[in-house]
Amino acid sequence: MRLVPGWALLSSGCAPVVLIAGWTIAALLEGPAYNPATQTISVLAAYGAAGFWVMTGALAALGACHVLTAWGLRPAALPGRVALGAGGVAACVVALVPPPSSGGSLRHGSAAAVGFALLAVWPVLAADRQGTAPWGLRPAPSFAATALMVFGAAWFMFEMHQGRAAGAVERLVTAIQSVWPFVVVASCPRRPPPEDPSR
């Protein structure tokens, strides 16, 4: 069994912390004019927003965490590691191309959509179909995680066009996407299994 280095546990654990801290602090800086239930995270990262640098820094840090985690997650299948790392790069691109203070941005929206998609499919791509895989890399949890993220993304799209809770749903989905790498890494051994004395 390939081992996961301790720094991958740190990078995966930091991902949800920096994301949630980033949107919390940026929202506090924005003040009561910002409604986290109805307004998206992108509003906090827009040019001219009071918490612009906080949210931009959080997105860049999130991306770096995902890239490091993908590098260290050796027991995962390579396509999944590539998708996780690419999702991290997409988060960095989202930070580099913030939306304007009013209206949308095709570059920002496209980078965010690519990141959403990559972070939704990486669990199923990383799944190890052998019976010896750690819990977080077994097919059933991996498929369930991807299904949950895809459902959440569809719900978010509905709320963006029809509903009133786009901000809340986006936070839910991005929180799940940022926590799942930590769950997977935590399920992987970081020490070699003990030798069988009968051999």
Name the pLDDT band for 176 (thresholds 50, 70, 90): very high
Name the pLDDT band for 132 (thresholds 50, 70, 90): confident
Q: What angle do CA 178, 125, 15 make, to 5 degrees?
A: 15
Q: What is the pLDDT of residue 26?
A: 96
pTM: 0.90
pLDDT by residue (tens digit) across 121-131? 999 999 987 76
Between CA 97 and CA 45 the distance in angstroms is: 9
Is there a contact between 62 and 41 (Cβ–Cβ < 8 Å)? Answer: no
Name the pLDDT band for 198 (thresholds 50, 70, 90): low
Between CA 19 and CA 60 the distance in angstroms is: 9
Greater confidence (108 vs 10) lies with 10
pLDDT averaged over every residue in the chain: 90
pLDDT at 151 over 90: yes
- The stretch 162-176 carries a mean pLDDT of 92
Copy the structure tokens of residue 7: 């720094």
pLDDT by residue (tens digit) across 67-116? 999 999 999 999 999 999 999 999 999 999 988 777 667 888 899 999 99
Q: What is the pLDDT of residue 191?
A: 59
Residue 108's contacts (CB-CB under 8 Å, 6 or more residues apart) are: 42, 94, 97, 98, 99
Query: pLDDT over 70 for what percent of the chain?
Result: 91
- The stretch 37-53 carries a mean pLDDT of 90
pLDDT by residue (tens digit) across 102-114? 766 788 889 999 9
